[in-house]
């Protein structure tokens, strides 16, 4: 298969006007030193500073730099997803725009994908310079994700990653799912996943975009990924199983109440009314829930078969070879 470049570097960003020129120079220096053919795709996620003006200036100076500007802030996952759609390199490198990820790691990451035949290589920032408000939630997420996914990575959320192009063209991410790309990749059949310790640098410009609300959003997205990845193509297996269990439970309780009443009726002659027993209402609720869950599974199955539309994002502008 022919590729336009050896490497595509996809960089999502939000209000990073100060760091962009230095980051681009650094990447170019590394690429030229190793004689890679490359493209740099800068995805401006609705910045409110001069980031898009800086991208235009950089692109005017160098045709390898391409830019996409969202009309508003959609989030890092949306920016990465759009960059993945546009990239044409054999190996795709993602990194943050805040200069905390070192471009010096690119050659080793490229080698692991190109020559060692990994599908995905995730960076591991052993020594971090982030505040505790960011590192503690990250450790909790990593532990939970390792447990649920079975992928033994120390740092799922590291922005510095390398991918085989086929992988990024086969997945779609949204919400806060960028932190769980290794999980999505594994459940799409890309199981050759490795980890590489990488250098983490202190933030030089601006402030972190991390907020505590992402702790909640990330956990909900983990549950969403776990459910969707396992039952997206067969939702009836999930809802139908739960519905059947609830329905059988309700019928079982009902049968028990009937047999109990008959036994007391013939033995003592004064049975309690069925509606006077709490178990009757529990059985009624179980039967109703069972029917509703079964119907939900049936409808989800129909929707899954009928729907194949991908997420679309409103792009405000493009620059460079991404004009069309």
Collapsing DSSP to helix, strand or coil, 98 comes out as coil
User: What 3-state DSSP class applies to 65?
Assistant: strand
Tell me what pLDDT residue 206 has: 65
CA pseudo-torsion sign 134, 155, 73, 25:
positive
DSSP string, 200-258: B----SS-----THHHHHHHHHHHHHHHHHHHSS-HHHHHHHHHHHHHHHHHHHHHHHH
pLDDT confidence bin for 118, thresholds 50/70/90: very high
Q: What is the pLDDT of residue 16?
A: 93
Using 50, 70 and 90 to split pLDDT, how confident is the model at 300?
confident
The predicted structure's pLDDT at residue 233: 66
| 151, 145 contact by CB (below 8 A) | yes
Q: pLDDT tens digits for 177-221?
A: 888 899 889 888 899 999 999 987 777 776 665 555 666 666 676
* Cα gap 108→192, rounded to integer Å: 16
Q: Compute the average pLDDT of residues 223-239.
A: 72
- For range 153-164, the mean pLDDT: 91
The model's confidence at residue 280, banded by pLDDT at 50, 70 and 90, is confident
Whole-angstrom distance, CA of residue 270 vs CA of residue 264: 7
**pLDDT reading at 258 higher than 80:** yes
Q: Is 298 helix (H, G, I), strand (E, B) or coil?
A: helix
pTM: 0.73
Mean pLDDT of 171-176: 82
């Amino acid at each position: 298969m022919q590729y336009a470049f050896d490497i595509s570097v996809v960089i999502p960003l939000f209000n990073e006007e100060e760091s962009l020129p230095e980051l681009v120079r650094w990447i170019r220096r590394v690429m030229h030193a190793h004689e890679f053919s490359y493209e740099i795709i800068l995805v401006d996620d609705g910045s409110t500073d001069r980031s898009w003006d800086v991208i235009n200036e950089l692109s005017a100076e160098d045709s390898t730099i391409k830019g996409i500007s969202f009309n508003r802030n959609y989030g890092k996952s949306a920016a990465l997803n759009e960059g993945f759609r546009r990239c044409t390199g054999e190996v795709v490198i993602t990194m943050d725009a805040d200069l905390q990820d070192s471009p010096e790691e690119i050659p080793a990451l490229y080698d692991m994908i190109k020559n060692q035949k990994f599908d995905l290589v995730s960076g591991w920032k052993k020594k971090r310079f982030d505040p505790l408000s960011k590192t503690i939630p990250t450790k909790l997420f990593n532990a939970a994700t390792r447990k649920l996914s079975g992928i033994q990575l120390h740092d799922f959320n590291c922005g510095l990653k390398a991918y085989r192009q086929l992988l990024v063209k086969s997945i779609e991410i949204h919400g806060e799912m960028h932190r769980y790309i290794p999980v999505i990749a594994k459940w799409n059949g890309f199981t050759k996943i490795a980890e590489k310790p990488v250098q983490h640098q202190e933030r030089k410009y601006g402030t972190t975009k991390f907020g505590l609300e992402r702790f909640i959003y990330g956990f909900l997205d983990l549950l969403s990924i776990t459910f969707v990845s396992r039952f997206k193509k067969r939702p009836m297996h999930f809802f139908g199983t739960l519905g059947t269990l609830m329905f059988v439970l309700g019928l079982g309780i009902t049968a028990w109440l009937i047999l109990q009443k008959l036994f007391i009726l013939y033995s003592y002659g004064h049975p309690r009314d069925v509606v006077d027993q709490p178990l009757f209402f529990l059985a009624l609720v179980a039967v109703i829930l069972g029917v509703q869950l079964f119907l939900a599974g049936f409808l989800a199955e129909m929707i899954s078969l009928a729907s194949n539309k991908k997420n679309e994002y409103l792009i405000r502008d493009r620059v460079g070879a991404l004009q069309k």
